[in-house]
Every structure is written in C-alpha cells, then in structure tokens.
Structure 1
C-alpha cells in the first residue's frame, strides 16, 4: 500500500525516498539463453525489504526450477517509479515480470491492453478474494500478491486487558464500556497522536468494513454521489467515534502533540491501553520497544453488530506480466507467479523479510516468530472476516480528511459538521476525476 490514496504521510515519506536504479534496470529484458534455459527479468521498487523479498523468491524459485533464472532489477518509488512503469509498458520495454501497486494505480496501467490475463491460472484459485478484487479489470485477473495485507484496527495492550479482566470488544458499546473501566483503572483508554495528522484517520477509514456490511454496495453508490457521510448515519459513525472518545475524556491529554513513536511507546509500556492505527506499524513498535511483540494484540474497529464483526484491510502490491512477454518467457513467467502465490512462495518471502501482515494466499502460514498483532490479523483473514478499505473500491477520497479528523477528534468541530465538510472536500476531487453524478 505504499502508494495508495490513503495519503498517510508516514508511508508517503517512505515512498518518496527515491534511490537509484540498479545497473541495467532500465534496459530491455535478457534474451533466452541456450540449452533450453530461460532467463527472466523481474522489476521491483527499491525499498530494501521489497528487494530482499524479491531476491529471495528468485533464488528459491530457481533452485526448484534450474532451467529458469530470475534477475531482480529495481526502480525508484513514488512518482518517478510510476512514470518508469507506465513508460516502459507503453513502449513494450518492460521486464518479463514486474511488481507494482494493486487497486486504483493498477487500473491506471490500462491492464486490458498492457498486461497478460491470468484468470485461468491455477494460482488464482489460491488467492484471497479481497486481493483478486484489487487486480481485476472487466472480470479478468491480472496479478499475483506480493507481500501481506495490513489493516486499520485497534492495537491494544494485552497486559492491561488481563489486569482489568477485559475482553476484546465486538461492538462499539462494548468498546466504550471497556474504556470506562480502563480510565477507572488509571490508564489512558485511547491513545491519539495528532502530532502526526495522518494517524487521525483510522476511526473513519478503518470503519469501512462495518459500513459495507451494513450497506452492501455503499462504495459504488458513493462513487456515483448517491450517498454521503454527513447524511448516512452508518457511514458517519467513524466521525461520531472520534467525537465520542474525545468528549468522554478517553484520550491521552497530550493527544495534540503526541507523535507516532510516542504513541507506540505509550502502548508498549501500558501508559495507554488502545491505539487506533495501521497494523503495519507493529514493525516499528517492536523495533523501538523490544520485548513487546507478544504484549500487543489487534482487534477490528467495532461496529453495531457483534455477529458481523470484521476488519478493514489494505491489499498488498501485485506481480504482473506485461503483454510484451511472449513465448517461452511467458510460460516461465506464469510458472514464477504460480510459485509466488503458493505456500512455498509465502515461506520464501517470509524467510527473506519477516511478514508484517496477513498472507493473501490460501494455505500459507505465518512463522511463530511474528508479533501477536500479525497473528490476530491473519485470523480475521482466515475466518473471511475482512474487507477492503474504501480506496480499493472507489476512486473518491478527499485530501483534507486527516485535518478534519484532527478537528473532530480534538473537540474543535462536531462529527456531523466534520462529515459535511469532508463531503465538500471529496466533491472537488470527484469533479477533477470527471466522475458522473458530481
């Protein structure tokens, strides 16, 4: 999700850390070598963990298929990397296989024209349905998953929960009841870190699973301007939640200045009990707070119906085959994607780069060494209690959401006016996109 429209600045800053391409990364694909052997080129972004995982997959795949070698090449992240991918596709100069975003950025590649249809491949049946949605165009599947799902949920300190005899809440009322007991126990119930404004969005963005469960097809109606946050109580709930935890005095007193690192430390030390945040931040939490990997759990942002409890997820990037890959290289490339989207591929990926989220391939298992929050997320995915974030289902998202959430969560603006302001914010973007109905 490094480049998705969630516009979380901590992730955006990572994607903008542009680096040089590796030698030969802008050149054309290698030709098949003699003796019936095939050499594939594999382009990935230059994030260190991405490169490590790609090289691990290439090595393990070749060990299993000695007649096929895979050479990993890298490209910058961010806008520069996007332009490289689009240019190379348009000039038929793309590598044999490449890794790129799923979701809206994948759709911008004109997959029907530029990518190989993989719908009939065996690995598609092993792929999680949520992921398939993000790499599908006109009912055809074009990619295999590269990496893990991560979620918008609530990390919680298990020691605090155990001490106070609390259970993981499956409804918002149960969550608020827990908050009252936590505050009475002398601990901040909900940590907020508005010193980094992107973190303010999780009660809204992470609530989309509940919106979709209550109003199936809401994203499609939203894209057509047929529903709005301010006038739909189900959708407005995320804004209501921001207001409720603030007005009840359940947030840390220094919420306005607290930053992500501070919030994670508070959670790890039990100074705060719960933190609405992206599950991918568990990596930073464990790195900065050694020994906390099994003390911090994860649960979904609760809705109104315990029977429909589930978590909102962001999909991993995909691996694709450009239309310019043909012949023996095409057959070998499909074989490589089949390996990536298999339990063996998951193991290979995990050996190179410890998973920070749930697998998007059925039959894959996490190593015992992953943090408890990652195991909790995988359980939601395995139980089919997960659903895609709104940004994977609609192109409509306004740039001012994080500032509006800070205002609502700080008591500056009430939930309904905040939701109304956001409706105006997304209207501008929808009009810029030329969407019908706006």
Structure 2
C-alpha cells in the first residue's frame, strides 16, 4: 500500500492534469516537484498501444489533438503487432493500452497485472451490463482493471431490396428464418453468403450466432470452468450435451448457403453481398463499411439471428472491440490516466463510436443513428447480448480448424467429441 504522502502526491498530480486538460493554466514546475519523469522537453512521454488497423489514422488524430491541448504529457502511438505477453515478461509493457478485450487479453487481469481503475469518474459512467462482460473472462479480487471503450454488436446483415423483392419480413423465430431461406431459394436468390476459406469468419459468424441464440453461452462456460479437471464428454456440462442443438442448426443452414462457400474469402463475401448476390450475411459492422466502399447505394439493415422458436430468446453477439487498461508495471501511471480520461470524455468516445458503427459503453449512451445497425439498438438497450462462444476458447484448442472441418464434412458428432476431449485435456493441464 502506498504511504499517505505518496497517495496525496498522486492525487495532486491527477487533479492537476484534469485541470490542465480542461484548459486550466499551470506551470511545469508543479509536475517536477511531484516527481514526474519526463523527456528533455519537460513532458512525460507515454507509450500508447492501439493496433486496430481500421482506426489507426483516427487515433493518430486523437493523439495529435491531445498532445496539442496541453504541455505536460506526450503520447506516442505504438501500432505494431508485437505480442503483449513478451512485453509484460520483459517488464516493459505499454503505459496505456486500447485493445480488443477477449479471453487472451484477460490473462493480464487474472494475474493481477493491471491497475485498479474503479476510483475513476470514467469508471462510474460505464453501464454495469457492459462492465460485466469483462468479468466473464477473468476477475482479480474486486478490481476494475479494464474499462470498455467500444462495443460492437453483430447481427445478420440483410439486403433490404432483396427482402422487399421476395416479400420476406425480418425473421423473429428459427422457423421464420428457415421459411425466409426457402422463400429466397424459390426466387433464385442465395439466402446466406458464407466464406469458409477464412476460418475466423466461421467461428465469429455461423458458430457464434447460432450458439449464442440457442443457449446461454455465459452460463455454459461459467459452469464448465467450475468443473475444472472434471470436464469431459460425460460431465453434467459438456459440448456434446449443451451445444448439440446449436451445431445441428448450423448444419441445417448450410443448404441455404452459396455453393462456393468453401473457396470464398472474407473479401469475396463483401464483394458478393455488395453486388446483391445474397440476402443475408453473418458478419459484424466492420463488413458494412467494406460493402459501402464497393456499393455506396446498398440498402442494408441488421437483425438478431433467431435460433429458437421463442422470439424472446434472440440476442446479439457483442464484442469489447476496444477497452482501456494500464499495467501495474508502468512507471507513468498518472500520465497514462490523463490520456485515458481524455479518451473517455463523452464527446471524444461517443464521436469515435458513431464514426465506427459501434456503441459507447456508458450509461445513457447516445442511440446509434446509422439505420444499417439501428435494428440492434433494442438488444443493446436491454442487455440482450452475449460474447461469442468462440472467444472463450484458449489458443491451445484449434476450434476454427474443427469448425471448418464441421461445415465441410458435416460430422456433428465428431466435432463435439473432439472439442470435449480437447477441453478436458486443457482443464486437466491447468488444474
């Protein structure tokens, strides 16, 4: 625990920086007196890691604006793809990260390697339903080590013109979905474009969408984790038991997919959908931007995939596309906090999310205005969402390879058996 003197100094520095960022005048001598380490220019330089390719230029602009707004902190943008684990091992992690948060990133939370941010005003503004997504992967004591920054909601992208042409309404149930697919086929319209050449599109799309709508993914993995080394095909919770319905439904949709799905890539899928060659596409909002580049006039919408015959079971897949965290090993925590608080300003964060077809994670966040994703707003409002089942798998289990084998070979039993066996070995090794 820090001494009272150190705590008071830290509070003094943070208060000072907030005043600086709000436009208050202050001298650099105050920072020097508080023990700040800086560059020759008198600034404290921090390394900020953000490597999401689509928004590198956007963050470059945010960093430039921040650096120009004050004279105490200098942010350097590290957009390299150097793995984070070696950086932590070497004791040289970034000072602040704005990174996709998933099961891989949660290792830093589980081991207590990140600063507790629970006392920040920004942390109090986060919607509890969104903050809970962080804890679904890992939790360290009662800390809030990660602050969600951008939530992407993924549903079925659909071509409004083709739906109108076929007289098909947005499906509300699994039966509705099958009937819609049949109606499209009767009119020689490909119901669903799939891209099985790229493994991630199978896991994020078909597998996550159907399983997320067919069962409670969060509860399943929580129960599976509780089993520990007792996990396996004969356990009370298993993929063979709980995922069978979802896997069979995945296979049922294959007859409504483009025949060349095995050789089509993500780029091929975007092109085909932009050209109006299919009615539905199992992709996230990132694909919408790519489709718009090809066909700006495409009339698109998004709906939650129904995987049961109860409309209330429908949910959308969400992803903490970006989240903020500060490693304990950073020696420039207060400077990192200053930039974090700048990024979390509503006018900064809300503008980013609106620009990138995402949702801000805060209470009373603004509703999305883009009609292409507005159909998912009710699900976000009511927290009817889930993190994809594929995101819970450790890297040691080649789930995506198994999924490609599943959609090409259509052996549900073989797929479920392999996943159960691999998870059991993983659980035993980590007991």
The TM-score with structure 1 as length reference comes to 0.75
Which residue in 2 is equivalent to 1:409?
407
Which residue in 1 is equivalent to 2:123?
124
Distance 1:364 1:303, change over 3 A: same
Which residue in 2 is equivalent to 1:280?
286
Which residue in 2 is equivalent to 1:315?
320
Q: 1:289 is matched with which residue: 258, 278, 295?
A: 295
Distance 1:297 1:428, change over 3 A: farther
Task: Kindly report which structure 2 residues correspond to 1:192-271, keeping only aligned pairs within 5 A, or say none.
Answer: 192-201=194-203, 202-213=205-216, 217-223=219-225, 224=227, 225=231, 226=235, 227-232=237-242, 235-246=243-254, 249-271=255-277
- 2 CA distance for matches of 1:67 and 1:310? 46
Which residue in 1 is equivalent to 2:59?
54
**3-state SS, counterpart of residue 83 of structure 2:** helix
Distance 1:350 1:357, change over 3 A: closer
- 2 CA distance for matches of 1:420 and 1:168? 35
- 2 CA distance for matches of 1:383 and 1:420? 35
Question: Please, which runs of 5 or more residues in structure 2 have no aligned partner?
Answer: 1-34
Q: Where is the helix percentage greater, Structure 1 or Structure 2? A: 2
The TM-score with structure 2 as length reference comes to 0.76
- 2 CA distance for matches of 1:112 and 1:55? 31
**3-state SS, counterpart of residue 283 of structure 2:** strand
Distance 1:170 1:420, change over 3 A: farther
Task: Kindly report which structure 2 residues correspond to 1:145-160, keeping only aligned pairs within 5 A, or say none.
Answer: 145-151=148-154, 153-160=155-162
**3-state SS, counterpart of residue 359 of structure 1:** coil
Which residue in 1 is equivalent to 2:348?
345
Task: Kindly report which structure 2 residues correspond to 1:69-88, keeping only aligned pairs within 5 A, or say none.
Answer: 69-77=73-81, 80-83=82-85, 85-87=87-89
The Cα of 1:219 is off from its aligned counterpart by 1.0
The Cα of 1:332 is off from its aligned counterpart by 5.0
Question: Please, which runs of 5 or more residues in structure 1 have no aligned partner?
Answer: 1-28
Q: 2:179 is matched with which residue: 156, 173, 177?
A: 177
- 1 CA distance for matches of 2:335 and 2:364? 23
Which residue in 2 is equivalent to 1:141?
144
- Partners of 1:189 and 1:274 within 8 A in 2: yes
1:104-160, CA deviations, whole angstroms, 9 ceiling, x for partnerless residues? Answer: 333322566432211122222322433453264323111233444253x32211111
Distance 1:398 1:376, change over 3 A: farther
User: Size of the alignment, in residue pairs?
Assistant: 383
Distance 1:413 1:364, change over 3 A: same
Distance 1:270 1:313, change over 3 A: same
Over alpha carbons, which structure has the higher Rg?
2
